[in-house]
Structure 1
Amino acid sequence: MVLFLLDEQSFNLEDTFVGNQVETLIPSDTGQSIRRIYIDIGCFNGETIEYFLYFTPNSDAYEIYTFEPDPDNYLLCKKRLSQPKFAKYKINIIRKVAWIRNEKVLYRTERGRQSRISLNATDDLDESVSLQAIDFSAWLARLVERKKVYIHIKMSMPGAEVPVLDKMIRDNTLGLANKYEVEWTDRENPLTRGTRIYVQLMFDSYGFDCLYYTRLKNMQKVYQAKGSAQDIEKYYDWNKISESDAFAHYIERPDEPIRQDI
């Protein structure tokens, strides 16, 4: 079973990974013409990774990295992904908060899928703990070499997706990925709404099209019925769906030859 649990003791911010795992987790040459990576920010109990592996053709060719800092969710994710059926996959669980800086942040735990960074003083600090965060944009830049990878990023990080994506735009790392699934939350929050609209517009500037939206509950139903990705219902107006489990699918426009064999 290739399952790496990257926690406080085994994760080095300067080297990305520490010890003799570096060559395994961040290989310079995988022997493939294109290296494929799936990054799941906020995997909760690991179900979204399970769905990705099921619905994605040739999913065993992907390196998988997931960020899950909530202590309870981390254990759920670890338990699920340690099952024998995942033995052939290269899965790396990172017990860190994906964020805009390397620093300690207050994190609201014990909220299941809605666990989140405490972004303002109105949050209930009694429910928050101090956890280590990393600069996701810088981490991504260290992980990849642009013309040798295909990257699919799923973001489920209530309230924090806007500042993280904004930082990626400022760092010019947004274009390192080829596909995004973003759960836009707190849509009408006056503190982030302007930046969120700017980020959405910048996806287009970086060459991405927002093709449709999907809901997690529909994906669950199709998975349980052993259906295919084509059976998952697609939406084209996010005002008609909730924000708690809806993902916007941004796909890079196919204007580079390297994309043709993906």
Structure 2
Amino acid sequence: MIFFIISLFKSLSISDYSNILDNDDDDDNETVILKNYNHSIHHIYIDIGCFNGETVEHFIHFTPNSLLYDIITFEPDPINYRLCKKQLKQKKYQNYNIIIIRKAVWIHDEKVPFQINRGQRSRIDLNKTSKYLLNQNRSVMLDAIDFSLWLSRLIKSNNTKLDIKISMPEAEVYVLRKMIIDETLTLAEKWNIAWTDRLNPRMRPIRLYVQSMLDSLGYSLEYSTNSYDIRQVFKMNGTAANITRHKNWKILPEVGTYCHYIQRPIVIDPPRTTKSRVKLKKF
């Protein structure tokens, strides 16, 4: 077995959360250790915004040979982070390589205002910057990473199969747009995307651009699912075939709806890599 060690930026200090959670003495994540086997495909699943860990549970349950995957999750909300960590530390997951990173995914390496303690609706606060407004909206300044740059450093092998699920209310379009510009979006074979703020006129043009580029880059929208339906099948120990698949994602509720994009075969072969690119484009 070969282990790849990828250095991360230093995680948040405990003092950053001192006014949010008491007695939070969890160790910070400084490295991501990935497992791989000689002469085999390296499988990675990245869950952006894992909330309480249930979407990772669903991935493990419904994905064939999920034990082969390195699973990396991002959850910056300190409340959600603790729920996620507790859920994924269960004995039944002890043989899985699960890394939980307590950082926000974003387009720059910087601190961002983040609305915490809102469950699945916790988010980067794109409109509030002053200290007064941060306090009024239960927002705190949390560390964020340039996900596009981070991913380009993570994926080095030509034999990597990457699945990414992204759920970050209001901010997903900005992250995906930067990945299109940086040419890192196609590193993933599959994307599960929660499109949020559908009626927001400011977000709609960016979302339409990203959706059109997904098609141009060789991705097909295969179907959409709802997390409530998935959870019910999961509780009944069902299979992926039992999950209802919808063709029109717009008729489903905004919260918990995921659009499943898969690269068309002509794009998948040859495998994707960033080795040939010298420098990422500036955004």
Deviant stretches of 4+, over 3 Å: 121-124, 256-259
Q: Displacement, 1:258?
A: 6.0
Question: SS of 1:31's equivalent?
Answer: coil
Q: Which residue of 2 aligns with 1:56?
A: 63
Q: Which residue of 2 aligns with 1:40?
A: 47
Q: Displacement, 1:32?
A: 4.5
Could you tell me which of 198, 204, 216 is aligned with 1:193? Answer: 204
C-alpha contact 2:121 2:169 (8 A) present in aligned 1: yes
Question: SS of 1:147's equivalent?
Answer: coil
Q: Hey, what's the Cα distance between the residues in 1 that align with 2:65 and 2:11?
A: 28
The structure with the greater share of residues assigned to helix is 1
Q: Which residue of 2 aligns with 1:243?
A: 254
Q: Which residue of 2 aligns with 1:97?
A: 104
- With normalisation by structure 2, the TM-score equals 0.81
Q: Structure 1: which 5+ runs fail to align?
A: 1-5, 11-16
Q: Structure 2: which 5+ runs fail to align?
A: 1-9, 15-28, 272-283
C-alpha contact 2:113 2:129 (8 A) present in aligned 1: no
Q: Which residue of 2 aligns with 1:13?
A: none
Q: Displacement, 1:227?
A: 0.7
Aligned residues: percent identity? 49
Q: Hey, what's the Cα distance between the residues in 2 that align with 1:200 and 1:235?
A: 17
Q: Which residue of 2 aligns with 1:230?
A: 241
1:141-182 superposed Cα distances (whole Å, 9 cap, x missing partner): 000025220000000101110000000001000000000000
Q: Hey, what's the Cα distance between the residues in 2 that align with 1:148 and 1:239?
A: 35
Q: Which residue of 1 aligns with 2:221?
A: 210
Counterpart amino acid of 1:194? P
Q: Displacement, 1:8?
A: 2.4
Could you tell me which of 53, 68, 73 is aligned with 2:80? Answer: 73
- With normalisation by structure 1, the TM-score equals 0.88
Q: Which residue of 2 aligns with 1:166?
A: 177
C-alpha contact 2:115 2:124 (8 A) present in aligned 1: yes
Q: Which residue of 2 aligns with 1:107?
A: 114
| Superposed CA RMSD | 2.0
1:194-228 superposed Cα distances (whole Å, 9 cap, x missing partner): 01100001001111000110000000010111110
